Every structure is written in C-alpha cells, then in structure tokens.
Structure 1
C-alpha cells in the first residue's frame, strides 16, 4: 500500500469520527475540520477553525494575496506599545496562524483596515494612514504616511471605517455624532434640528484618493448622505458599492406615546444599501420600517409612529433589511469560488448584536448571508454562522469583521474575546 493510500485511509477513518476530509489525501495531514467547528454553527459542508486568539479587540480584517491576514486590533485599556496592527500567517496549511506579530508602535488603532497596491491602510483616531508593504512581508516597518487627516471624531460613532475600489477611490464612513439629530441628544420628546446641520460633516460617506497623501477633511468630499453609521463598506468585483447602516435607537424610550416596548425593540430595521453618488438614505428624518417595507417619517420630524411618510418618499431605501438593533459592523461581498455557486456575488454581514432591545432578549451576534444579483436582493437572508454567544467555551464572542481570502475562505473577527475564525467549504 502506498504512503498516499495510507494517508487517504487515515483521513477516512478520522472523518468517520466527526471530521470532514479535505479535498485530497495530499492535504489530509495538514488541515482537518474540528468536530465542533471552532464553536460555531454553520451550514452543512462548511468547516471553521480557530485561526487565532489575539490580545485586544480585533475589528476589521484585510487579507493579502499571499494569504497574510491583518487586523486592526487595539490593545484594551490604553496599552499596546507594540502597536494596534496584528499580522497573522498560516505557514503549514493547518487552518491556524503559526505566525502572530504586532506592529505600529504607539499609533492609536481603530476599526478600518484595507490593502491597496503596495500599501496597508489603517484607521488611526481621526486619520487614515498607510504602511508600505512588500509581498510576503508580515510585520511592516517604517513611519506611516498620512493619507487623510482631521476626520471628525467627536460624539457618538467615531469609528472611521473605509473601503478602496480598484481606481483608488477611498470611501470613508463618518458616522453621526448623535442618535437622531435632536436639539438635546437622546432626550425624551426633544425635537429634531431642522435642517440637521450635522449632515454637513457627519452621517454619510466621504470620498478621497487612496493614491494621495496629506489630504484634509472638508465638507466638499461628501459622496452620500443620510447614513447614521455605515460601519461596513464593501466594493464588489463589478464595481458596485455596498454599505450597512445602523438604525437609530430609542423610539420607545424617547417617544412612549407613539411606540410601545416591542416596537422600540423591533424598529427600525438594520439596512444594506447600494451606495450611489449623491444618494440620500434618509437619516435623521426617516427610518426604515421592516414590517411595512418602507421608509417612514421619524418622530423628531413630525412622524406619527409609523404611518406618515412625508419627505421620506424621496429618500433611497435599502436593498435588504434585517431585524432591529442587530448592529451590522461589517459586510463582505463574496467574490471567491471556493463556496458553492449560490454564494457568489452575495453579501456576508457581521452583526455585533444588540444592547437596547427593551422587549424580549438581546439578539443578533451572528453572521448572515444575503444573496444579491444586479445590485439587489435576490432572496431572503440566512443565518450563516451562529453560536458566538452560546458560551460553549465559557466566553462571549461578538462578530465585527469579515474578509474573503485569496483562496475563497471567509475570515471572521470577534472584538469581545479576540478570536479570528477561518471558514472553508468541504462539500
């Protein structure tokens, strides 16, 4: 019996005990699927390995063409002399990172991170900076260049996430400083400021040039408006731009004469939008009612609890909606070929989970898949990965970052316990 046949038999026996074998016997000694999928619940045929457990709070992910994984993962409680960026590499093909390095010195980290040309771009407390990178390099050295500076970071929603398209357009989320642009933020029955002056500098997507340095924030680079907090931004291979929107809070708490506790928990829907230049998606004047399937007028601006539409008839609705307060923290368009054909071109969305559902349990804490075609939803979403909050390992996990690797694997980051998973398809 040949060595290759022996390996194949060993794989078959191992998989009869709870594993799914790799595509060929040559790979069998390297990467096998753990029986518990790293604690996650996945559709049949998918396998998850714990790629790494890192110190700090890993947020968004970028994966280089050579398979190196980068995280924007600031150390908690003000520490982190080694830097906020983590470089990870699996050199032996077992689905786990065996090289883990930190770099970036004392540069403040954040959430956003991306690779473009020969650079690694990083959000750093009101700026977008970049480090030069050579193919195969993991720990990056040198002084970073400032690409964009003076981005506003006061008030709420200070994460400056971003995405870069093939032409070097750098799209940056400038989330709102307030919940709903009230005269007194998050205060019972406080009216909305009309017009909402905050929209001049917040609550939208701004566009810059990833090929230039020392750009300074101004009102003039606004690309789209009416997005309360578009933490997830993704560019599809066909050039379409997508973003998630965190819906506003406190409909019931601030307007108890118009909403009951259950409505406050279920409204508004979270959103996936198709980003259009000059597009207005409604915040703070409107919110999306998932039950009715339409934008309705917010109570701060004369809304009556969900019937009045008013100016919202002229705003851009989402292409897909999800349960309220799930908190979509990232989106990745699946442009790989490893997963079944039904996944190609669709969106994976990481939901960080709710904190403010007054009726019933908190929910979310999962990764969903939304099929897309021609820039529109082409079916209902499914919960793709679950079990993050199950406590199977005694630890709570909250998904916050997504990336598709060059081999079509899906990476998920968790900022509650510092874990990164790698998901593959075995059939």
Structure 2
C-alpha cells in the first residue's frame, strides 16, 4: 500500500530542516518545526547583525506544531502551532502517563564570534546552556530574544535584541524556563523515558538523553558525545544529571574525528536501552545485571552547565609511535609554502586555524585536521567552491565569508567571525592553501 500523508507543507531548508516528532497516548502528533537561522538576525550568523524585530520566522518556524495522527491530508499552517520560542527540538519523550511531552533544545551558537565586544572567547564554549523543556500549550520558551545562562540560572536577553552580554533580562522574565540545563553545545539529539524493570529503580524517574556532541566549543575541548540520565520529580529536575554511557567518540571528541556519535535512543520490551550511532551506523544495546535496587548509587555526575571552558586544546604533531590523537598529522614544519607567502606565515596560519591566535573557530566546522565535518567542507581535497584555490583566492574567500553556501547549510561570516587583521588573514590563507598541497 502507498503511504498516507498525515501533514504536508512543512517548512524545509535553512539551518535546521529536520522534523522530529512524537505521538502521545491521545493520538496527538507533536512535530518540531525548527528555526531557519541561528538567532533570527537580519543576516544569519553575521557579526553585529541585529535581530529581526519582529522575528517573522516565528510565524512558521521556531516551535512545536500539533496534529491529529488519525487524520490524513492535514496542511501545515501557523494555526497548528502548539508552543513557540524553541530553536531546535531534536529530542522528544513522553512521561510514564503517555501524555506529557518533553523536548530537548539545541541552544544558539556564536555569542563571542558575532558579538566579541560583549562576550569573552571562552563564553563561545560555555554559553548558552542546552535545555530540557516541558511542553505547555501556548508556551513561549524565549528564542530568539532570550537564551538560558546556566551560571545565572535564568533566561537573559540576547545581544541581537539589546542584550549586554548576560546581564539584561527584559522580556525574558515572561518566558518559560527549562526543566533542566546542560553544558553548552553538547547537542541533545534524542531522549527517552523508561519505566521498565531492567535498570535499578532510580532510572524509572527521569530521562535518558543522547548528546550528539559539540562543534561550537572550539578552540576549547568539545563536549557531549555521550548518553546521560537526568532525574526528574514531576515537572522539575530532582538532581544533577549523570554520565550514563561514554566513550563513543573514541580518542578524540570532535565532529570530524569521532569514531561514533550517539544520535538516537529507544527502550526495548525487556527494558534494554538501545543507542544508535550516526557515524558508522552502529546500534548499542545496554543491559543491567543485578537487583532492582542496584545497591549504593555510584555514578559520574555531569559537569556543571556553568563549568568553565578549560584550556585551549593544542593541536601539535607527534611521532607516529606516540599516543597523541594527532600523531602523524601534517604541521607547518612539513607543509609547502605558496608563492607570495613564507614558512613563518604558514606557521602563524596554523596557530590561527587552531584557535591559538585571533580567536578563530575554524576547527569547529572544518575539523582539527581540515578534513571537514557536516558543517564545513574538506580543505585538503582541492575541491574549491568559492575561488580558484590560489593563495590570493583563498584569502579573498576568508575575508569576505560565504553567506550562501552551495553545499552546506550554515554560512561562514567574514573572517569566520573572528576579528582577524589583514596579516592574519594572509597567514590563514597560506595555511589553508598548504593543507591542500
């Protein structure tokens, strides 16, 4: 039989084109219609571009829509909106009653990149928190005007709408706060409740969340790439989350080098927890052997959502027989030099690329090795999309940015959003040219 169409006309394109959904016990289907932009700027992901006011995107994006699973040929329209102000709700879960719906929200990006006068470089990695939300009819959760500051434990005004780096609150006092908050940019992709008896009893009062892993913490250490358990009591968190399963990424937590990345969760009839990986298509099954009480609780707590970013990660070459994850990677010492540049420029460009000079976040999209990620192209394969691949052509692309990518959903702002000098742009271009030669 041919499939039935339940709802058609859902918005596509933009930064967040997917439409996760869940159906509750009453047959209502809740569908994520995520935002087309990062923060509803007049120019998406562009430094100092103000927010659209009003944000017309909210008419047809940035929220949860509700439909009847038993009706066919429903048509998407603003009238179906159930809740608003949600940037990107990837994870959905129903509580044990099958009626209450929880979602996870991917927080916004690029606070420091786009607003360096208001934020410190490390706040790119620590703000804003990822969120667990309890859906309420007609609820407004704040995007794009507000983001959740885990340190202040409140919604604060976004810089695009007059925010001052985390102090002003303004209209955010009237928005709905999260049920729980997690470290920034961990990317909560999936969520599930379990009331089965496979695991100890404490795991029947809360949610498991699969964090796909970050990119926007660069040049600081990435986070996530794990499965956590968040205990709940009614509508609120009843304690900090715990790291339930880790090690999926392998030696390096980064978008381009992680061996596996948790992306989906499901609970089997026997209570086993299944975790899907979207790098190599692996399915993990997690079971528990022991009594339902599980003895004394021993677990690894999640880092605080307001924990500091830590140190900038050094990306340096090591001998092949070494144990560093970047062993054998090319460095400026054995890279070629383009005509018109010098070896010193390539060396400086390498440091800029890895975030050690100028505050650049190149590795977040192009990966530590330059081989690309879902957010940015491979810089090592000589497939040039925006220039002829020459040293000067690459420098021009870096300086001007790429506002309408041909093959990737997120634009690159001029100089990658960093405040680079002309000499730093030239050095970075020399390094990128060298990577491909």
**TM-score scaled to structure 1, two decimals?**
0.66
Query: In 2, Cα distance between the equivalents of 1:419 and 1:143?
Result: 30
Q: In the alignment, which of 263, 286, 290 is matched to residue 400 of structure 1?
A: 263
1:402–1:411 CA contact under 8 A, matched in 2: yes
The reply on whether 1:237 has 2:100 as its aligned counterpart is no
The reply on whether 1:153 has 2:12 as its aligned counterpart is yes
Query: In 1, Cα distance between the equivalents of 2:100 and 2:163?
Result: 33
**TM-score scaled to structure 2, two decimals?**
0.64
Q: In the alignment, which of 219, 224, 234 is matched to residue 83 of structure 2?
A: 224
Q: What residue is the counterpart of 1:409 in the other structure?
A: 272
Q: Any residues of structure 2 matched to 1:187-206 within 5 Å, and which?
A: 187-206=46-65
Q: What residue is the counterpart of 1:73 in the other structure?
A: none
Superposed CA offset, 1:235-291 (max 9, x none) = 112222100000000000000000111011100000001110100000000000011
Q: What root-mean-square deviation, in Å, do the aligned CA atoms of Structure 1 and Structure 2 show?
A: 1.3
Query: In 2, Cα distance between the equivalents of 1:152 and 1:426?
Result: 45
Query: In 2, Cα distance between the equivalents of 1:269 and 1:192?
Result: 20
Consecutive unaligned residues of structure 1, counting only runs of 5 or more, are 1-141
Superposed CA offset, 1:162-202 (max 9, x none) = 00001100000001000000000000000000111100100
Give the helix-richer structure, 1 or 2.
2
1:240–1:375 CA contact under 8 A, matched in 2: no
Query: In 1, Cα distance between the equivalents of 2:269 and 2:71?
Result: 27
SS in 2 for 1:353: coil
Q: Any residues of structure 2 matched to 1:311-322 within 5 Å, and which?
A: 311-322=171-182
Q: What residue is the counterpart of 2:331 in the other structure?
A: none
Q: In the alignment, which of 27, 32, 37 is matched to residue 173 of structure 1?
A: 32
Q: In the alignment, which of 324, 331, 350 is matched to residue 210 of structure 2?
A: 350
Q: What residue is the counterpart of 2:135 in the other structure?
A: 275
Give the strand-richer structure, 1 or 2.
1
Query: In 1, Cα distance between the equivalents of 2:267 and 2:229?
Result: 13
SS in 2 for 1:371: strand
SS in 2 for 1:261: coil
2:108–2:128 CA contact under 8 A, matched in 1: yes
SS in 1 for 2:286: strand
1:299–1:305 CA contact under 8 A, matched in 2: yes
The reply on whether 1:325 has 2:185 as its aligned counterpart is yes
The reply on whether 1:366 has 2:226 as its aligned counterpart is yes
- In the TM superposition, residue 391 of structure 1 has moved relative to its aligned partner by 4.6
Query: In 2, Cα distance between the equivalents of 1:302 and 1:175?
Result: 23
SS in 2 for 1:287: strand
Q: Any residues of structure 2 matched to 1:13-412 within 5 Å, and which?
A: 142-238=1-97, 239-391=99-251, 396-412=259-275
- In the TM superposition, residue 358 of structure 1 has moved relative to its aligned partner by 3.0
Moved over 3 A (4+): none
Query: In 1, Cα distance between the equivalents of 2:235 and 2:195?
Result: 14
Q: What residue is the counterpart of 1:99 in the other structure?
A: none
SS in 2 for 1:145: coil
- In the TM superposition, residue 362 of structure 1 has moved relative to its aligned partner by 1.3
SS in 2 for 1:212: coil
Residues 329 and 207 of structure 1: CA distance in aligned 2, closer, same or farther (over 3 Å):
same
1:226–1:281 CA contact under 8 A, matched in 2: yes
Superposed CA offset, 1:309-336 (max 9, x none) = 0000000010100000000001111222
Query: In 1, Cα distance between the equivalents of 2:258 and 2:31?
Result: 32
Query: In 2, Cα distance between the equivalents of 1:313 and 1:359?
Result: 33
2:96–2:194 CA contact under 8 A, matched in 1: no
SS in 2 for 1:369: strand
Q: Which has the higher contact order (CA 8 A, sep 6+)?
A: 1
Aligned length: 285
Query: In 2, Cα distance between the equivalents of 1:325 and 1:178?
Result: 16
- In the TM superposition, residue 345 of structure 1 has moved relative to its aligned partner by 2.8
Query: In 1, Cα distance between the equivalents of 2:70 and 2:33?
Result: 20
